[in-house]
Structures are given as C-alpha cells and as structure tokens.
Structure 1
Amino acid sequence: MRKAAPPEFHAKMPPSAEPRYFLGISLALAATVIFACQDAMTKTLVHSYPATFIVMVRYWVFFLAGVYMAKTASGGLIANIKSKRPIVQCLRGLLLLLELIAIALAFRVMGLAEATSIFQSYPLFGTVIAVFLLKEKVGWRRVSALVIGFVGILIMLRPGSGVLSVGAIWALVAALFFALYMALTRLVGGIDKPQTSFFYVGLVGLVVMNLGLPFFWVHMDSHYVWILVALCFTSVVGHFLMIKALSLAPLTVVQPFNYLQLVWSVIIGYIVFGDMPDILTLVGAALVVGSGLFVFFREQVKAAKIVVK
C-alpha cells in the first residue's frame, strides 16, 4: 500500500508545484464558467426544441471526442476501448444520458440558478448511495451534514406550499441520476482507464439516442443552429479543461471550486433571462453547498487516515 507523503511535503512544496496548482485551479474556474454558459445555452434551446434532440446532437460530438481520446492515448484505440466491466460502463453511460435529459427539462421551466441549486445536491445523494452500493461507513459528522443538506433541499423545494414545480422534480431527478453515475464511476475507476470510461459514456449515449433519430429530429432556425454548435464546442472544451485541471492539481484542491458554478449561474441567469432566485432558494442553496463541502472534506480526512494505516 502506498504510504502517505511526509508532513514536510505539504508544508514545504517545491516551487515548481505551486504554479501547477494555480494553473489547475484557474482551468477549473474557467470550466465552471463554461459549464454555466452551457446551461444557459441549453435553457435557450429547450424553450424552442425538444430536449431529446439537443442531447442527441451533443452526443454525436461527445462520441467523437471519446474516440479521439482513446485513439491518442497510450496503447491505441482498440486497447483503450476494452473494458473489464462493460455492463457497469454501459449503465454509467445510460445514467449520464438520463441526467442530461432531466436537467434540460428542468431548465425549460425553471430559472438557471434554481435548477442548478437543486442539482448541486448530488454529492449528498452520492454519499447515501455509497453507503448502500459501495458499503462505505459514514460517521455522525457526515450524517449530520447530510441532514442539513437535505433540509436545504426541502427549503428550496418547499413541498406543500404550492411552489414545488415539475422543473424542481426534474432537477432533483437529475441530481439522483448523476449521483448514481458518480458512484458507478468510482466502482470502475480502479479497473478501467479514464479514456475507456469516457468512450463508453459517448458510445451508449450515441447508440440510445440515435435509435430515436426519426422521432427526435427537427429542423432548426439558423440562429439556433449556431447556439447548438457553440453548446457542443463548449461541452468538449469544458470537459477538457476540467480533465487538464485534475492532471495539474489534486481533486481535494479542485473540487471546492466547482461550487462556483452556482454563482455564475445566478449571474448569467439574471443577465440573460432576468431570473433572480428568492431568499429561500439562496438559503437552501447555501445549506446544500455548505454540507456538500463538509461531506467532501470528511471523505478526504477519512481517505488520509486509511492511507496512513
């Protein structure tokens, strides 16, 4: 088992490592801005066109990016698309596809910030899923954080007040699908290569959505075509930036900055759509984000203890 780095490694990092951390954080921040812009473009498109059509076109580009990644990686295309857990990989791909459709449907009827706030609850669902699916043990601190996080979700949903909407349910479903996707990703993380997992996501989405091509296909106005092209392009750029960021800085450094996507969503939602979340949504989002960060922190503490042992 790999030993943990000595304390002086963290206290006295080589000068060459600091710029890499700064660059990794910078790329992650750029990715969160791009992801928020993607959500705005998706919201614009699904107001006029079916969410299934938008997702289908995105998967054409996603699949090509997956093939390129597998082909250019060490070993070549054939070696990098072979999976030791193909069924799990296919299930991952299906879950991510369902998540993209669900969040697109949420954006159609909800404000950008509201839908993103609810979706940011996925780490909380992920922790619960990890207990049952991955058999992980959760202490009282993380349980307390989960309870607070779910209180935040209830504040945003406001069940019984007449505010609960179909869009909010879709955003919650999207968060659940994404949490399941992340749990299965952790299952295959130590078995298959990253480029293998990326390829399967694109392949499954491409196959499933193209089965419905005759039903999903619509003709678009030229103005919306360019928005869709920009959406596909930024999807590839955003994922590339995040992958690059994680190659320059560890997940423990990068992950907390991902929550800034909610801030960009509030700003972009107000500028583009005139949406401003109410005070209860902001309070609920703060509880969800805060509890999510704490859960992530406790997971890192637990992982560090396991490595030291």
Structure 2
Amino acid sequence: MNNKKHHAVEPAQGSAGLSGSSSPVANSQTEHNHKVGIALVIGATAIFAMQDAITKHLVTDYPITFIIMARYWVFFAVGTIMAARADAGFKNTVRSRKPAIQIARGLILVFEIAMVGLAFKTMGLAEVIALFQSYPLFVTALAAIFLGEKVGWRRWLALAVGFGGILVILRPGSGVMEFGAVYTMLGAIAYALYQILTRVSGTSDSAVTSFFYVGAVGAVLMTLGLPLFWVSMAPVDLLWLGLLCVMAMSAHFFLIKALTLAPATLLQPFNYLQLVWSIIVGWIVFRDMPDLWTFIGGFIVVGSGLFVFYREQKRAAERKKQLLKENAV
C-alpha cells in the first residue's frame, strides 16, 4: 500500500517564485521539477502495487506478523541512518516534543499494515485498494471531529457520496461482503487516524523525527513478539521478502524526493493511480479482475476524494487571500 506516505514538507523548489523571480530560466526549471516529481509519484504508486502483490503472495503461506517484522527492521535501519545524517545530529533529531503521539502513530501504523495484509488473504489487489482509497474521506471527517477543522456542506456531501461508493463495493446483504473488506476498512480508518496524528506531531517534530519514531516503534513491538511467530522461509520466499523491503523503501524515497521537487497540492491526485496499477498487476499476476460494481464504487470513492481535495485547496487559497488582504489593510 501506499500506506506509508510520510510527513513530507512543502518543497523548496518553489523558492524562485517566492523570491519574486519570474525569469524564463527559473520557470523552466520549476516546470521541469514538477514533471520529475509527478513521474516519481507515478513510479511510487506502481511500486506500491507490485509490493502489494508480493505481500499477497507471502501471506498465503506465512504469518503477516512475520512479514511486518521484517519490513520494520529495514524501516528502522533506514530511519536510523536518516536521523544520524540529519543536520541537527542524531540525539536532537530523535528527541520528540510529543513522544506519546509519536508512539501512538507507530502503533496505529502497525495495525493498519496488519489489517491490509490480512485483507490480501481473501481479496484481490484492486478490491482492497479501491476500498482503501476511502482513507482521505475518513481523514476529512476525523479532522472535523478531533481537530475542529471547518468542513463545508459541499465536502460533507462529497463524503456522503464517497461512503455511498464504499457501500456499492461492499454491497451489504448481497453475500459479497467478507472479512477482507472489514479488514480493509479498519485499515483505512487506522491510516486516516495516523494521518491526523501526523498533522499534530508535524507542528513540533521534523519529518525525519516522525519517520524514525514510526520505524522504531514498529520494530520494537514486532521484535518483542518474535518468539511467537518466527517461521522458517523457503529460500525463494526469502528473496521475495527482501524484494518487498527494497520496494517499500524505494517507493518511500520516490515520494520524499517528489515532494522536494513539487508541491503536495500538485502531486496528491496522482496517488490514486495506485488503483489503476493494482488492477493491472492483479490481473497479470493473479488473473484477478474486479467486477463491474467494484469499478463503479471505486470510481465514486476516488471521485469523491478528488473533490474533497479540490475543495480543501480552494478553501486554503481563499484563507490565504483573505489573510493577505487583511495584512495589506
């Protein structure tokens, strides 16, 4: 999943525009950076789809807890290297001003990964991703409840439509709904809560600090349970597990790099391409093609998410314009 899209900050590439420069060279470089950033996000979503396919393959024979543990060991190692190379130094970087929230984020993300992994046991890639794409809707609803963010009637209506799309996919009472769908929805809600806590922690901690805590908490938690779920893997599956870890870190690197080249507001809509890649990969690897209702429901969910995103950006632009007007007065 693109369940690890972490704590990126607005990129510095727009500094030319902020400094008042509008030269053709500066504009050309910015446009080039934006194109590269978009390409990196598209690449990341494709990698996430292939990563999910490997996860689906592995969870058929091995405990999801074992797979999560291996991923978090790599996650923690990368986070430690990033903290050690940070300008503030390792000790200052790993010192959080909100450690309780950081620990909660780490625990919630472990739960989310476990839920999605379990969902892959019984559902196809596209079905899981189509349902999981509802997490931005939950983020908006939870932000209104817990952060007091103002949500207008248009976004509430879009949320209602999006949740209607979820019902189209699940079709309660038709016999289609299964445990995999429940796991996916729990994962989407958990990831939305993770995003909310990331916003809170981001007001005081750096992106590297947040990244380190997520890896450290997950690695410690899963390693504590090592005696309970350690298993021996076939050599070929060890290779698949290693590739899974490499893919996960590569995709995260692509996302982080993309956000240094282009603003999140430009890149966010391209994250929905993971659903397209999941349909393609699911059909090629597992000969699994979603039914018509999943396509319709997925279209409704993604469309609602994009509209909510559009309204959020429009509201942010209006607030900025109003603030500039007040300052001018």
The TM-score with structure 2 as length reference comes to: 0.90
- Where does 1:35-74 land on structure 2 (aligned, <5 Å)? 35-74=48-87
**C-alpha separation in 2, matches of 1:71 and 1:297:** 38
Write the letter of the residue equivalent to 1:207: V
- CA gap of 1:42–1:144, structure 2 versus 1, over 3 A, is same
Q: Which residue number in structure 2 is paired with residue 109 of structure 1?
A: 122
> Could you tell me the percent identity over the aligned residues?
52
Aligned mates of 1:80, 1:203 — CA distance in 2? 13
Could you list the structure 1 runs, at least 4 aligned residues long, displaced by more than 3 angstroms after superposition: none
Counterpart for residue 173 of structure 2: 160
Q: Deviations over 1:239-279 (max 9, x none)?
A: 01100001100001110000000000000000000100000
Deviation of 1:73 (Å): 1.5
Alignment partners' CA distance in 2, 1:46 and 1:279: 27
Q: What residue ranges of structure 1 are gaps of 5+ in the alignment?
A: none
Aligned equivalents of 1:57, 1:43: Cα separation in 2:
15
Shift of 1:189: 1.3
| Residue matched to 2:296 | 283
Residues 177-235 of structure 1, C-alpha deviations (whole Å, 9 max, x = no match)? 00000011011112100000000000110111111000111000011100000000111
Q: Distance in 1 between matches of 2:46 and 2:21?
A: 32
**CA deviation profile, 1:33-62 (whole Å, cap 9, x unmatched):** 111111000000001101011001100000
Measured after TM superposition, the shift of residue 76 of structure 1 is 1.5
Quote the residue 2:35 is aligned against: 22
Letter in 2 for 1:249: A
Q: Does 1:259 align with 2:266?
A: no
Match of 2:5 in 1: none
State the one-letter code of the partner of 1:217. Answer: W
- Report the CA distance between 1:9 and its aligned residue: 8.4
Q: Which residue of 1 aligns with 2:104?
A: 91
Q: Which moved more, 1:12-21 or 1:264-273?
A: 12-21
Query: For each residue in 1:116-147, what CA deviation from the matched residue of structure 2 results, as whole angstroms up to 9, or x when unmatched?
Result: 10011000111110011110011011011101
Q: Report deviation, 1:307.
A: 2.0
Number of equivalenced pairs: 304
TM-score when scaled to structure 1? Answer: 0.96
SS at match of 2:46: helix
- What CA deviation, in whole Å up to 9, does each residue of 1:91-127 have, x standing for no partner? 0111111000000000111001001100110001111
SS in structure 2 at match of 1:277: coil
Q: Quote the RMSD (CA, aligned, Å).
A: 1.6
1:186 maps to 2:212: no
